[in-house]
Amino acid sequence: MADPEPTYLNTLRLIPKLPFLFGPSPIQALPRLTRAISPPTSCDPRITIHAKREDCNSPLAYGGNKVRKLVYLVADAQAHACTALVSVGGIQSNHTRAVTAVAAAAGLQAVTVQERWVPIDPPLYAQTGNILLSRLMGGDVRVGIGEEGGGEEGFGIGHKEATRRVCREVEEKGGKPYYIPAGASDHELGGLGFVDCMVEIAGQERELGIFFDTVIVCSVTGSSHAGLIVGAVAEGRGRKVIGIDASGKPEETKEQVTRIARNTAKLLDPDLEIPDSAIILDDRFHEGVYGVPGPSTIKAMQLAARTDAVITDPVYEGKSMAGMIQLIREGTIGPGSNVLYVHLGGQPALNAYSSYFETESAKDVQ
Ligand SMILES: *Cc1c(COP(=O)(O)O)cnc(C)c1O
């Protein structure tokens, strides 16, 4: 007789979600990047690097990690007969683009507050990339309304006053708002998408005949990281999930990851405990400030692009790529390790950062 399904999987299966993903996102080997950062002579047995391509996970507006989380939240919004999704992010937020995309696909309205979270203003920053896509999809895009209402709150992973005002406005017009916090993270259902992702990874490992002992993921509002941690602890196979902070405020991010991981675990199985040792956040690669790439970010982006043509963005994935490369080079990730880099998406922001790739220093760093 087959073993009974663990409680967390049973519970997870019963929580409603919408079919906004293609199915399992692909896992791809990165042989040229692997050779470039761990030459055969330096390390035996060899390290392998694969990428879990969450940037290719959905047909909706280029997908990414936020769509994987939102499949649960939008099902909840529909169950509550809401008419509008209300959320918040930076000007080039992937999250607000994803909220607008799932709203379109679900036949809901989207109102997104776009705040100036990033202390730079490169050419066309507020016209191209994600914000262009949101406008194209018919989103009600509100730039700078935080300023009118008594001051922009600045970058933060917590809850925002401006969204409360927008919710009231939706109600006054007879609609019913569904509030989604920044990054769809600090929400009861925010961690579920990436528990699902870990379950998916385990299934793909069985097919590939590999076990990824080390998983690398970018962490900012924290629920992608938290969900993967819950999935890894629940399966109990001892794999390590290493978050790479890109928030520039690692204490806040770590606190939020811990809270979301524990709440998500409790939702799925009251007996599932997340030990402190499972929460790993490396704070060496955020380059000081959210949304601004530094030299190590640009170098890592170039290396990934020039070896296996993996395109990463300067806000998130370039920083986690820099983290993975360094963890391997310095030997923290040791010989024989099978590493899985979870690529969370974010390429639509790249064009808004084109000026970072015109300078001499950026041309040929390697
Ligand atoms: C939002 C985002 C992240 C960070 O994920 P969180 O769940 O907010 O920690 C990383 N990469 C990309 C591309 C993102 O859009």
Q: 363 in a domain, yes or no?
A: no
Q: Are residues 33 and 121 in the same domain?
A: no
* CB 227, CB 264: distance < 8 Å: yes
pLDDT at position 335 over 70 = yes
Mean pLDDT of the chain: 94
* CB 127, CB 349: distance < 8 Å: no
Rounded to two decimals, what is the model's pTM? 0.96
Question: φ, ψ for residue 227 (rounded to 5)?
Answer: -65, -40
Structure confidence at residue 364 (pLDDT): 54
Probe residue for ligand 1, chosen from 67, 220, 264 as the CB with the greatest number of ligand atoms within 8 Å:
220
Cis bond upstream, residue 45 (ω within 30): yes
Q: Are residues 227 and 251 in the same domain?
A: yes
Residues catalogued as catalytic: 93
User: pLDDT by residue (tens digit) across 45-79?
Assistant: 789 999 999 999 999 999 999 999 999 999 999 99
- Nearest CA residue ID for atom 7, ligand 1: 224
Distance between CA atoms of residues 9 and 293, nearest Å: 38
Q: 361 in a domain, yes or no?
A: no
CATH number, domain containing residue 277: 3.40.50.1100
The CA 235 to ligand 1 mean position distance, Å, reads 24
The CA 4 to ligand 1 mean position distance, Å, reads 34
Q: What is the DSSP letter of 143?
A: E
User: pLDDT by residue (tens digit) across 1-56?
Assistant: 667 899 999 999 999 999 999 999 999 999 999 999 986 665 567 899 999 999 99
User: pLDDT by residue (tens digit) across 223-274?
Assistant: 999 999 999 999 999 999 999 999 999 999 999 999 999 999 999 999 999 9
Structure confidence at residue 146 (pLDDT): 65
Q: Which of 104-118, 138-152, 299-313 has the lowest mean pLDDT?
A: 138-152
Q: How confident is the model over 101-112, as a mean pLDDT? A: 98
Structure confidence at residue 180 (pLDDT): 98
Among residues 163, 184, 205, the one where a domain terminates is 184
Q: 365 in a domain, yes or no?
A: no
Among residues 150, 184, 218, the one where a domain terminates is 184
Residue listed under structure tokens 């992010």: 89
Q: Are residues 211 and 179 in the same domain?
A: no
Probe residue for ligand 1, chosen from 25, 62, 66 as the CB with the greatest number of ligand atoms within 8 Å:
66
Structure confidence at residue 38 (pLDDT): 82
Q: 366 in a domain, yes or no?
A: no
Q: Are residues 199 and 347 in the same domain?
A: yes
For the chain, what is the domain count?
A: 2
Looking from the CA of residue 194, the nearest atom of ligand 1 is 7
Q: 1 in a domain, yes or no?
A: no
Q: 324 in a domain, yes or no?
A: yes
Q: Are residues 203 and 162 in the same domain?
A: no
Residues 6+ apart with CB under 8 A from 276: 258
What confidence tier does 366 reach under pLDDT thresholds 50, 70, 90? very low
Q: Are residues 55 and 98 in the same domain?
A: no
In Å, the largest CA–CA distance within the chain is 67
Q: 223 in a domain, yes or no?
A: yes
Structure confidence at residue 152 (pLDDT): 59
Structure confidence at residue 158 (pLDDT): 76
Among residues 184, 199, 219, the one where a domain terminates is 184
Q: Are residues 193 and 156 in the same domain?
A: no
Q: Tell me, letter by letter, the H, E, C secondary structure of 199-264.
A: HHHHHHHHHHCCCCCEEEEEECCCHHHHHHHHHHHHHCCCCEEEEEECCCCHHHHHHHHHHHHHHH
Ligand 1 pocket (Cβ < 6 Å) reads 64-66, 94-95, 183, 185, 218-225, 313, 316-317, 344-346
Q: Are residues 179 and 222 in the same domain?
A: no
User: pLDDT by residue (tens digit) across 139-198?
Assistant: 999 998 766 554 556 788 777 889 999 999 999 999 999 999 999 999 999 999 999 999
Q: Are residues 300 and 330 in the same domain?
A: yes
The CA 172 to ligand 1 mean position distance, Å, reads 32
Q: Are residues 41 and 131 in the same domain?
A: no
Structural domain of residue 257, as residue ranges?
A: 7-60+188-356
The CA 207 to ligand 1 mean position distance, Å, reads 27
Structure confidence at residue 41 (pLDDT): 60
Q: Are residues 237 and 313 in the same domain?
A: yes
Q: 28 in a domain, yes or no?
A: yes
Probe residue for ligand 1, chosen from 54, 62, 94, 134 as the CB with the greatest number of ligand atoms within 8 Å:
94
Looking from the CA of residue 317, the nearest atom of ligand 1 is 11
The CA 45 to ligand 1 mean position distance, Å, reads 32
pLDDT at position 362 over 70 = no
Q: Are residues 116 and 156 in the same domain?
A: yes
Q: Tell me, letter by letter, the H, E, C secondary structure of 275-338.
A: CHHHCEEECCCCCCCCCCCCHHHHHHHHHHHHHHCCCCCCCCHHHHHHHHHHHHHCCCCCCCCE
